């Protein structure tokens, strides 16, 4: 039974497992190897069962544990060409792991899962979300680190039964927070992060088009809280019956609830 396991999800570290105890995919490795292994094992997943690691982009909160994890487990890595060049040129991935380079126009398989990458607008060399089909034909999408919802992003989110989508910041909290003005502008830019309000607007469309389960991810620990993010989405969904969807918030510093695909 395939599930999404949000292991860590915040501006300080991100990693998600999609699969079951027999095999699956790790999406990003943004915390230490020790934390990754502990989180996986707490959910009954052996790190040897990770059949591939998908890397969204090169920022530290997505690759911190990649080198040591691939040194120990030799797990194949899948990422874009620019990210692959960055990782290899800085020795951020073990030479014992195979790097598979993808393009957003092609799908590929990792174990029993079909993966279709799509581009997200972010201030990195490149950045991707992933639309993943499990062996039963059900679709889950993970999509964080984006300044706005592009047509490509929207089309890949549509018709998925489970969506893990960014709800990074609350506008009022960002305005009144301690971040310097240039950083606030970067976060708000088209290559920054998705606000609670913008995430909620997209989620409403997704649920009206059949999405059943929504996981809010990559919450800022300075400019957001799980309660504030959840309330922003629930306010947007006030005209939709609560029986039509389930809403989850991925915790920042511990594994979250596993969500069945």
What mean pLDDT is predicted for residues 29-58? 98
User: In what order do the strands lie in the sheet containing 128-133?
Assistant: 108-110, 113-119, 128-133, 139-143, 162-166, 213-217, 246-249
**Total number of domains in the chain:** 1
pLDDT tens digits, one per residue of 65-106: 999 999 999 999 999 999 999 999 999 999 999 999 999 989
pLDDT tens digits, one per residue of 98-152: 999 999 989 999 999 999 999 999 999 999 999 999 999 999 999 999 999 999 9
Taking alpha carbons only, the member of 101, 150, 142 closest to residue 121 is: 150
Q: Around Cβ 172, how many Cβ atoms within 10 Å?
A: 11
Domain limits for position 87 = 3-260
Average model confidence (pLDDT) across the chain: 97
Please say whether the beta carbons of 106 and 81 come within 8 A: no
What mean pLDDT is predicted for residues 242-254? 96
Strand, helix or coil for residue 18: strand
Q: What pLDDT is stored for residue 67 in this prediction?
A: 98
Res. 9: pLDDT tops 90: yes
Q: What pLDDT is stored for residue 231 in this prediction?
A: 98
Radius of gyration for the alpha carbons in the chain, expressed in angstroms and rounded: 17
Res. 177: pLDDT tops 90: yes
Confidence of residue 157 (pLDDT cuts 50, 70, 90): very high
Res. 173: pLDDT tops 90: yes
| DSSP H or E run through 187 | helix 181-188
End-to-end Cα distance, the chain? 8
Q: What pLDDT is stored for residue 171 in this prediction?
A: 98
pLDDT tens digits, one per residue of 17-28: 999 999 999 999
The percent of residues above 90 in pLDDT, for the chain, comes to: 98
pTM equals 0.97
Q: CATH no. for residue 213?
A: 3.60.15.10
Local structure of residue 56 (DSSP, 8 states): -
Strand, helix or coil for residue 76: coil
Name residue, tokens 């003005």.
Answer: 181
Q: Which distant-in-sequence residues (6+ apart) come within 8 Å of 231 by Cβ?
A: none
Q: What pLDDT is stored for residue 1 in this prediction?
A: 86
């Amino acid at each position: 039974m395939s599930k999404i396991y949000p292991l860590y999800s915040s501006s300080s570290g991100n990693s998600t497992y999609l699969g079951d105890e027999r095999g699956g995919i790790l999406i990003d490795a943004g915390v230490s190897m020790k934390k990754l292994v502990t989180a996986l094992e707490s959910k009954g997943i052996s790190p040897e069962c990770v059949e591939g690691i998908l890397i969204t982009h090169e920022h530290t909160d997505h690759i911190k544990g990649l080198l040591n994890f691939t040194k120990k487990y030799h797990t194949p890595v899948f990422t874009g060409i620019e990210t692959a060049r960055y990782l290899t040129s800085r020795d951020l991935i073990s030479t014992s792991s195979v790097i598979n380079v993808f393009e957003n126009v092609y799908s590929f398989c990792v174990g029993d899962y079909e993966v279709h990458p799509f581009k997200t607008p972010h201030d990195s060399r490149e950045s991707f979300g992933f639309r993943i089909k499990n062996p039963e034909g059900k679709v889950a999408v993970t999509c964080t680190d984006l300044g706005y919802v592009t047509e490509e992003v929207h089309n890949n989110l549509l018709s998925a039964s489970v969506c893990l989508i960014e709800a990074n910041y609350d506008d009022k909290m960002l305005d009144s927070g301690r971040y310097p003005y240039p950083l606030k502008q970067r976060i708000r830019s088209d290559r920054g992060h998705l606000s609670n309000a913008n995430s909620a607007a997209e989620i409403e469309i997704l649920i009206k088009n059949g999405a059943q389960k929504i996981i809010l991810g990559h919450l800022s620990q300075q400019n957001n809280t799980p309660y504030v993010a959840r309330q922003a989405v629930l306010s947007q969904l006030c005209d939709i019956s609560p029986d039509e969807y389930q809403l989850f918030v991925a915790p920042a510093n511990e594994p979250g609830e596993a969500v069945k695909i």
